[in-house]
Amino acid sequence: MPFVVSFGRQLLDSAKDLMPVILVVLFFQVLVLRQPLPETVAAGQVLLGLLCVVIGLALFVRGLELGLFPAGEGLANAFVRKGSAFWLLLFAFALGFGTTIAEPALMAVAAQAERAFIEEGLIREHQLASGQVALALRAIVALSVGSAIVLGVLRILKGWPLHWLIIGGYLIALALTAVAPAPLIGIAYDSGGVTTSTITVPLVTALGVGLATSIKGRNPITDGFGLIAFASVMPIIFVLALGSLGFWWLNG
């Protein structure tokens, strides 16, 4: 029974997220555009798709809450208690990498990025199998989030101030922007924004708060939540740097 209740609440949350989108689109379709839908968009398919989105997202989050979140939180606490910095950092990296690979918002951006690359002829279709560019982009972002969590854990252990590291990260990102190929820039900055949604935030915050609570003199609020901030700057740096290498490798 508790499952049904919490699934219902999750369903409501997803629907709440989607409702404004539907209302705004309807407002424009009915009052502003006043045109029939073009033939390429079947209303039935869109409705079915919206249903899939709401139910799918609710099931996904509910499934994570049921199994993976408690397991991940238990592990995070176990590693904090274990007291070995090496294993803690390795676990932090794996956690950041694994959660980012499964992040649905990143999948969306990566799919659109691949589409744009092929449309522009930046990557010829025969060079790589379909889906490989998107997967490579997601792997780079996952690598960057893993490193960001490691850096964030190190920061909590050492007590470095958060905002100087963030500002330093921004400056590195801007410097790389000046030298990276232009097509990478928008995608790099966008991937910084999508890494922090459904799945990464709860697990990573659990690690940060657990760590900050167990170390004397650390504040769970300021120290715990800083991990997420790193996870949104690091992807920009990694996508610009590794993406440039990828471009150079593909195009000579």
Q: Which of residues 19-38 bind other proteins (CB under 8 A)?
A: 19-21, 23-25, 27-28, 32-33, 35, 37-38
Q: In 3-state terms, the chain is what percent helix, strand and coil (to 5)?
A: 85, 0, 15
Helix H or strand E segment including 20: helix 2-27
Q: Which two tokens stand for residue 194?
A: 């999508």
Q: Helix, strand or coil for residue 31?
A: helix
Distance CA 189, CA 187 (A): 6
Q: Helix, strand or coil for residue 210?
A: helix
Stretch that binds other proteins, among 149-157, 195-203, 209-217, 240-248 (CB under 8 A): 195-203
Site size for other proteins (CB under 8 A): 107
Q: Choose which of 136, 157, 172, 185 interacts with other proteins (CB under 8 A).
A: 185
Binding mask 44-63 for other proteins (x = CB under 8 A): xxxxxxxxxxxxxxxxxxxx
* Least distance from other proteins to the Cβ atom of residue 160, Å: 14
Using an 8 Å Cβ cutoff, are 124 and 166 in contact?
Answer: no
Using an 8 Å Cβ cutoff, are 176 and 245 in contact?
Answer: no
Q: Does 238 bind other proteins (CB under 8 A)?
A: no
* Least distance from other proteins to the Cβ atom of residue 216, Å: 20
Q: Choose which of 126, 158, 163, 216 interacts with other proteins (CB under 8 A).
A: 163
Q: Which of residues 123-162 bind other proteins (CB under 8 A)?
A: 131, 162
